[in-house]
A and B are shown apart, each in its own frame.
Chain A
Amino acid sequence: MIIIGERINGMYNDIGKAIKGKDPKPVQEWARRQEQGGADYLDLNVGPASPNKIEAMKWLIEVTQEVSDLPLCLDSTNYDAIEEGLKLCKKPAMINSVPAEMPKMERVFPMAVQYGAEVVALAMNEEGIPKDADSRIALAAELVATADSLGFSPEMLYIDPLTLPCNVAQDHGPEVMRTLREIKLISDPSPKTVIGLSNISQGTQNRDLINRTFAVMAMANGLDAGIVDANDNELMSAIATARILLNKDIYCDSFVNVFINRNR
């Protein structure tokens, strides 16, 4: 599974404060730590509090790239901030995200083509998050078709079927699993899939246990990527193990360390 480190997000106090005070230390510390934990990408989100989202995004990108060569995942609903950010990225980035809404898709996909970026696309539209798998799959198909018509390859698309907390929306779990399986049938080459893992355990007890159990189940259903806590060792070990059991990586006795250190 492709690991997108979630921690550089203005919603966390230390990052929020760092952005406000232009203090690169906490951001760079988390960039390093997530890289050591085994991240493939670093998600960058300026958070709700930043008054100037474009400047904040540019600053986050610059200070992160000073200490890490990992590709970045620009996480914002402000597409001007993303576009300015893409200009600064040293490696092709990931745009996070676009829903199945026409004006937004028309803004994001051509931009992604221009900068060679990948795109996280949400299986939702103006009407919100669908209840069942069929509606999610229909939206995923719409995303693939629109991307394709705008010259964007489905292989570069990461469809997020959208997970909801298991305590308040328990019936969504199996629907998400079915969505993950069927997204692979939409096109050939098929789009990739991604989830924001920590959503599944919002407001629950034992969040880490729920997160890693869900990660393994989703992987068995074909999940390709996750926006996750790359410093949760138990989670990373579970993901490494699932990759072995799915025959994605060749087994060896040091399989956990090999997975965590694979980018070094």
Chain B
Amino acid sequence: MAVEILKEKYRSKVGEVVLGATKEEGGTRSHTITVGGETSLPYLHFEGETPNRPVMALEVWDTAPTEWPPFFEKFYGDVWNDPGEWAKKCVDEFGADLIQLRLAGADPDINDASPEDCAGAVKKVLEAVGVPLIVIGCGKPEKDNLIYASVAEAAAGENLLLGVAELENYKAVNSACMANKHNIIASSPIDINICKQLNILIIEMSTAMANRIIIDPTVAALGYGAEYSFSIMERARNGALQGDKMLGMPMIGNIGSEVWRTKEAITPTEAEPGWGEQEERGILWEATTAMAYLQSGIDMLVMRHPEALKIIEKQIDDLMQDNSY
């Protein structure tokens, strides 16, 4: 009996976004990274194309983190007072495709770093590594709005991915991206309606931003509502493939920072012996969360633990194997 393979035909595809710029393009990166471009649901190579494999960033902070579990020290302890060295280690030793620099030190409750300090940290990382850079603020909008312009200007030509823009606060970061030709992270609180509207508002400020947007739908960690993010990402991807241009952008998720604040990842072995060894548990928590989002179409994963990154690297290798009939 003949079996006919069912192949979905889609009207549209996800847009491609290029991150970073080489010398010829006005930057100093050793290479650029392109994300997006899918013409099918995730890894259905038999009915469409996944021209660009998902990429992983490791987190680098501009200040030594104080609340990470103690075993992170063996990876980052010798470099986490220097964002440049830290970034270099992530790329050279741990194999990160790109670096996400979080300007945590700008937080008024941490170091209250000035816009100039923040620009300095960005420059340090740019000098230390050749990979494209993601830069995000401290998460406090009133302070972040003060630092976007100086960071964007200091890195003009580098084609950064800068964020985050939110519905209630997108103009300052978008202006900085428009003026210095950077890409933007459009972040929405697990709400596809807000996700779509924010993309519209960003593009209304400048149509040139249309292929410079990366959607951050907000990922939740395994066990903490991951299925909400999962289904929203699926819906966004279906919308994109069916021709909804306002959802036709690649997606990013902050996996590491979400996972490493769950009870399961931060509770020491002695406190919960039944859960098994903490570090292994945390690594698997991060990897499993990331694995699930690969299936809902995520293009960029921001990880924290080098071992979790390694597991997902292998997973991506496997998923990128051609499965066409």
Interface residues, chain A, CB within 8 Å of chain B? 249-254, 257-258, 262
Q: How far is it, in angstroms, between the C-alpha of A254 and the C-alpha of B200 when the chains are bound?
A: 8
- Chain A residues in 8 Å Cβ range of B291: none
Residue of B nearest to A249 (CB): B244
Say whether B239 contacts A253, CB under 8 Å.
no
Is B235 close to A, CB under 8 A?
yes
Residue of A nearest to B201 (CB): A254
Chain B residue, CB-CB nearest to A155: B9
Check if A253 sits within 8 Å of B197, measured CB to CB.
Answer: yes
**Assembled-state Cα–Cα distance A232/B246 (Å):** 24
Q: B193 — which chain A residues lie within 8 A by C-beta?
A: 250-253
Q: Are B197 and A252 in contact (CB under 8 A)?
A: yes
Chain B positions 230 through 248: 1 when the CB is less than 8 Å from some CB of chain A, otherwise 0: 0000011001000111110
From residue A239, how far is it (CB to closest CB) to chain B in Å? 16
Report B177-230 residues with CB < 8 Å from chain A CB.
192-194, 196-197, 200
Hey, which chain B residues are within 8 Å of A250, CB to CB?
Answer: 192-193, 196, 235-236, 239, 244, 247
From residue B198, how far is it (CB to closest CB) to chain A in Å?
9
Question: Given A252-B194, A252-B200, A258-B200, 18 more contacts at CB 8 Å?
Answer: A249-B244, A250-B192, A250-B236, A250-B239, A250-B247, A251-B196, A252-B193, A252-B196, A252-B197, A252-B246, A253-B197, A254-B197, A254-B200, A257-B200, A258-B196, A258-B246, A262-B243, A262-B245
A262 to B196, CA, bound (A): 13
In the complex, which residues of chain B have a beta carbon less than 8 angstroms from the beta carbon of A257?
A: 200
Q: How far is the CA of A220 from the CA of B289 in the complex (A)?
A: 39
Complex CA distance for A258 and B201, rounded to whole angstroms: 11
Question: In the bound complex, how far is the Cα of B192 from the Cα of A92, in angstroms?
Answer: 34
Q: Mark B14-55, 1 if CB is under 8 A from A, else 0.
A: 000000000000000000000000000000000000000000
Interface residues of B (CB under 8 A from A): 192-194, 196-197, 200, 235-236, 239, 243-247
- Label chain B's interface by main secondary structure: helix
| Chain B: CB-nearest residue to A257 | B200
Bound Cα distance from A252 to B198, whole angstroms: 9
A249, A250, A251, A253: most-surrounded residue (chain B CB, <10 A): A250
A107 to chain B: closest CB distance in Å? 28
Residues of A within 8 A of B200 (CB): 252, 254, 257-258
The distance from the CB of A30 to the nearest CB of chain B, in whole angstroms, is 25
- Nearest A residue to B194 via CB reads A252
B244 / chain A contacts, CB cutoff of 8 Å: 249-250
- Cβ contacts under 8 Å, A258 to chain B: 196, 200, 246
Sample (6) of A-B pairs whose CB atoms are under 8 Å apart = A250-B193, A252-B194, A257-B200, A258-B200, A258-B246, A262-B245
A248 → chain B closest CB, angstroms: 9
7 smallest beta-carbon distances between A and B, as pairs: A252-B196, A252-B197, A251-B193, A253-B197, A254-B200, A250-B239, A252-B193
A251 to chain B: closest residue by CB: B193
Could you tell me the distance in whole angstroms from the C-beta of B5 to the nearest C-beta in chain A? Answer: 16
Bound together, the chains give a CA A158 to CA B194 distance in angstroms of 35
Complex interface: chain B residues within 8 A of A254 (CB): 197, 200
Q: Across the two chains, which residue of chain A brings its CB closest to B243?
A: A262
Nearest A residue (CB) for B235: A250
Q: From B196, which residue of chain A is reached at the shortest CB distance?
A: A252
Bound CA–CA A253/B193 (angstroms):
8
Which of A249, A251, A252, A258 counts the most B-chain CB atoms under 10 A from its CB?
A252
List of B residues within 8 angstroms of A251 by Cβ:
193, 196
Residue of B nearest to A261 (CB): B245
Which residues does chain A contribute within 8 Å of B247, judged by CB atoms? 250
Rounded to whole Å, the gap between the CB of A261 and the closest CB of chain B is 9
What residues on A are CB-neighbors of B236 within 8 Å?
250
Q: Which residue of B lies closest to A250 (CB)?
A: B239
Chain B positions within 8 Å of A262 at CB level:
243, 245
The CA-CA distance from A33 to B200 in the complex, in Å, is 23
How far in angstroms is the closest Cβ of chain A from B4? 13
Q: Give the CA-CA distance A187 to B245 in the complex, in Å.
A: 31
Q: What residues of A have a CB within 8 angstroms of the CB of B194 in the complex?
A: 252
- Rounded to whole Å, the gap between the CB of B236 and the closest CB of chain A is 8
Chain B residue contacts of A249, Cβ below 8 A: 244
Bound complex: CA of A221 vs CA of B234, how far in Å?
Answer: 27
Task: Looking at the assembled complex, report how far the CB atom of A133 sits from the nearest CB atom of chain B, in whole angstroms.
Answer: 30
Residues in A with CB closer than 8 Å to B197 are 252-254
Instruction: Return chain A residues, CB-CB under 8 Å to B246.
Output: 252, 258
**In the docked arrangement, what's the CA distance between A108 and B245, Å?**
35
State in angstroms the CA–CA spacing of A257 and B243 once bound together. Answer: 15
How far is B235's CA from A252's CA once the two chains are assembled, in angstroms? 14
Cα-based distance from A258 to B236 in the complex (angstroms) = 15
User: Smallest distance from the beta carbon of A2 to chain B beta carbons, Å?
Assistant: 12
Cβ contacts under 8 Å, B235 to chain A: 250
A262–chain B nearest beta-carbon distance, Å: 7
Q: Within 8 Å CB of B245, what residues of A? A: 262
B49 to chain A, nearest CB (A): 23
Q: Which interface residue of B236, B239, B245, B247 has the most chain A CB atoms within 10 A?
A: B245
Distance, CA A252 to CA B243, complexed state (A):
15
Could you tell me the distance in whole angstroms from the C-beta of A94 to the nearest C-beta in chain B?
16
| Distance of A123 from chain B, by nearest CB (Å) | 27
Residue of A nearest to B247 (CB): A250
Q: How far is the CA of A250 from the CA of B245 in the complex (A)?
A: 11
In the bound complex, CA of A21 to CA of B172 (Å) = 55
Instruction: Determine how close the nearest CB of chain B comes to the CB of A254; give it in whole angstroms.
Output: 5
The smallest beta-carbon distance between A264 and chain B, in angstroms, is 9
